[in-house]
Structure formats: C-alpha cells, structure tokens
Amino acid sequence: MNKNTLNAQRLLQYFCKDWSENAAQLYYYFIIPYGIMTLLFIWMDFTKTHSVVVALEQVRQGMETDNNSYQLIMENALSGKDDCWFSIVFTAVLCFDFFMAFAGSTFFKTSKYRKDYIADLTFPVSNAEKFMVRWFRISIISFPIFCLATVLADFTRIGFIHFLYPEVSLSFPVPWLSDECDVHIPTAILQAYALQALFILGGTYWQKKPFQKTLSLVLLTSLMYYFTFFCTVFYFIGPDFVYHNTAQQWVYGWTFGIPIFLILFGYLLTYLRMRRATLLPSWKDKTTLVVFAALLIGLGLCVWMPNFIVDHFAYG
C-alpha cells in the first residue's frame, strides 16, 4: 500500500482507469431512471387528463358526470398549474432515494469480482484516492445524471399527453425549485445522500448482495426506532404530543441534523474499512463496535427526545 496518501498524477491516472471501466454504468444511471420515471409520470398524467376528457364529453352530451374535480383541474390549468406536480415530485424523490441507495451499494463492486480484483489491488493508489474517485463517480456525477433523466422524463410526459389529447392542455413542466410542489427538495436531497452513505458502508460488510442486505437492515432499524419513539410518546406522554407544534418543529430540525451526521458517519467508517473491504469483508474490527454503539445511541435518542421536549419546551 502506498504511504503517500494523495498524489495528483496518481489520482488522475486512477480516475481515468475508473472512468474507462465504469463508463457504461453511467449510461445505466441515466437510462433506467429515465425509463421508470417516464412510465410513472405518463401514467399519473394520463389518469388525470383522461378523467377530465371523459367528464367534458359527458357534459357536452348533457349527461351527469361523477368527476367533481374536473372543473378545479381546468381552473388550475388556466393559471398554469398542473395537478400532477406534487405526485410527480414525490415519486421523483422516492426514485432518487432508491437510485442513490443502489448506486451506493456498488461502491466496492470492482473490488469484489475476480477479473478486477488483482488489477484493483495492485494498482499503486492509496485508499484515500480510491475513496475520492469512487465517491466522485457514484455520489457527485450520478446526481446531475439523475436530474437530467428526471427533467427529460417530465417533458416526455407532457409531449406524450399532448399527443394523446391535443384538444386539452392540462400538462405543464414541473417547477422543481418552486414551493408550489409542497416538497422541500434540499431536504430530500440531503436525506438521499444520508441513505447512500449507509449503503456505501453496508458494502464494506457484505460481499454478495450488499443492496438487499443493507436495505433489510435499514428497514429493520427504522421500524425499531419508530416503534420505540411512538411507544414512548403514547405510553409515557400522550398521543397528542405527535401533533404538538413544538414537537413538529423539533423534528423538522432533526431532519437536517441526523442526515448530516449519517453522511459523515458513513463516509468516515467506509474510509477506515477501505482496505478490509477490498481484501476480505469482515465484521471483526473496532468499526463494527462503533456501528453497534451508534445503533444503541439512536435507540436511546428515540426515548430521550420526547421527554426532553416535554421538560424544556413546556408542552402540556
């Protein structure tokens, strides 16, 4: 292992090597999300537009219509608003979470296949340089690729619906940076990167099927935390606590603090486990104790946080 942690020339050489070996993966990062989101967006818009067209035809024929919302949809369209915006943004955020998690699970992919193992292990590059190059490809490059796929999927939706129903104009581009979508995009992006950091860390523990195994652990841990939190609230404080304004403001603050902590936590432990993950993934080291300690601290926070709010913010 090279003791010189960072070298610009060596870093550039490894970047070119990694780029040439994984260029096809970047195309998949665009094609697969674009295809999935295009189908979902078109289905959402088709459901809305088709119901309005049917209602208008029924009204034209003097029949009663069961669609009571078509007038509101048309009024919003006259002001340049699309009733599909929230559904599309929410779906895009879920797809982005899944995309970032899956991309993170491939962080050590080139280190675990026999044909790439020797070349990756013997290449004169430090762990820090490996981490930086892979992180740049998986976490940085993948983000604008996904954004491009999302925007193109949205325009494809509009073009397809206008082709099917040229007589009405109810579809408009999503204003991604506007508050009209009712989704705070920066928070969603931050949470997606936190999720990816956990899946990158999970790749250091499981050589086979890291995505499925990390996903199972994340879901199990989340359910355990939510169960502990709500049991603490309902049995020791009261069910109205969940809807209290003070509690909601506190939780909103944690939606920034916890993701930032998880990002730093995941990246740091991944870097410390780089060499072990490349040679032979194992649970037997001090970083595993840190992971278990973090899980226990998180469980304790689920019990402590409601009581802290009650004691310090005069809930009652």
pLDDT reported for residue 103? 93
| The pLDDT value given to residue 200 | 93
Extents of the domains making up the chain:
184-316
User: Consecutive sets of 10 residues in the chain, 316 residues long: mean pLDDT of each?
Assistant: 70 84 86 96 90 77 69 73 87 95 86 54 74 91 95 95 86 82 78 94 86 93 86 70 53 72 91 72 78 87 72 54
Predicted TM-score (pTM) of the model is: 0.84
Find all residues with CB under 8 Å of 11, minimum gap 6, and list them: 125, 129, 132, 133
Q: Which pLDDT score, from 0 to 100, does residue 112 have?
A: 47
Region label for 206, one of left (φ > 0), alpha (ψ between -120 and 50) or beta (otherwise): beta
Q: Give the model's pLDDT for residue 287.
A: 82
153 closest CA partner among 92, 207, 69, 93: 92
DSSP H helices, 61-184, are: 70-78, 85-105, 114-122, 127-135, 142-164
Taking the mean position of all CA atoms in its chain, how far away is CA 222?
Answer: 15
Of the candidates 274, 122, 135, the one whose C-alpha atom is nearest the C-alpha of residue 193 is: 135
| Amino acid identity at 227 | F
| pLDDT given at position 229 | 78
**Residue of 78, 163, 181, 62 lying closest to 70 (CA atoms):** 78
pLDDT at 152: 97
